[in-house]
Structure 1
C-alpha cells in the first residue's frame, strides 16, 4: 500500500507518537496542525511526519489542507487521537485498489462500548439514517477513517471547512456516482479529551453543521417526518 495519510491535528502531542509509529510501510504521514498549543507539530516532525500548518480552525479546513499537500494517488484520512489503528488502513484501501469501490469508510466498532460516548453514538445513528434517505447509500457511520483516490476527492470540490466536511464528502461522492463502501474497524478510547464527541456541546455543534448540509440535500435528522423507523 502506497498512500499519503492525512491526520488533522489539534493538541494531540500525547497520541501522535503511537499513531505515527503504526503508519503502514510505504505510507507518508501528513499531520495538519490546526492551531495546536501543546507542541504537536514538533512531536510530529520528530517522528518523521510532514507537518502542514492550517490556521483556519475546523476539521474540514485541516483535511482539505492535507489533501492539497498530498502527492500520492491514494489518500487516507485518519484521526490523530489514537482511537483508530493505522494498521487497519490497508483493509480499507483494498477495495479501492481492486477497483471495487471509490470511497471506503471505516465503520467504528467500539472496544469497549464506552469508547464511543452514548450521546455521540445516538447522534451518529440519526445522521446515518438521514444520509441513507438523502443519498440511498447504505452507510451506518460517518467514519473518520477513510480511503479514496486524491483526484476523486479534489473533483468533489468540497466547500465545508468545519464539522460538516465528512458528511458533505459522502453526499457529494454519492451524487457524483462514486461507489461507497464500509469496512468494520475497531474504535478504542482516544488519548486525551475529544474536541467534538467528548462533550455534549461539541457533539451538538457538529450536528448543527451536518444538519445544515443535510437540509441542502433534502433530509433533516431532527425532523420528525424524516425520522428513522425504530
Structure 2
C-alpha cells in the first residue's frame, strides 16, 4: 500500500499528527508532546520551556466557538448526530499536550472516523479536530496555545519574519508580548508563549547570532 500524501488543508495533516504522536508514545519517558513546524522558534531556553511544560497541570489547546465563516459555517451536517453543531470548535493547530491526552488522540476512532469522512472542502481538520474532541470529551485544558502567531494581516497565512524583520527588538517584543498575563495552574503569570512563528529560512543566521543574547541559549 502506497503512503498517504499529506496536503496542506487536508485531513491527512491530522492523520500525520496521529502517527507522530503514536511513535512518540512508544517511549514512556515522553510525557509532553509539542507540535511545531520548521518555521517555529523557541522564545526561551530549554530549561525554561521544560519546566513550564512539565510543571503544568493541564494541556494547551486553543478552543474557540466562532459563529462565522471561520467557525460554525465549516461544520458539515453529515457529522450529526455523533458530532453536533454546538460541539463544533476551532483553534490553533499548534498544541502542547500531556501523555493522557496524546493517548486519547491516537486511540479514539469514533470521532476520528467521522472527521475522516465529512471534514473536507472548507473544513480544515488540523484546526477543528482536537478542539472539537476535547470539547466533546470535557477534557480539562488551558484554552490557549503556547505558540505566538501574527494573524493581524488576515488571509490564509500569518505574518512572516524574514531576515530584515528578525531583529533583537522584535524578538524581545515577542518574549514580552505575553506580559499582559495568563492563567497557569490557577494563578496569573507573565509568560504566555514559549514559541513563535513564522520565521523564514533567510532569518536563520540572525536567529543564531541573537539567540544567546535574547533567549539565553
TM-score, with normalisation over the residues of structure 1? 0.38
TM-score, with normalisation over the residues of structure 2? 0.40
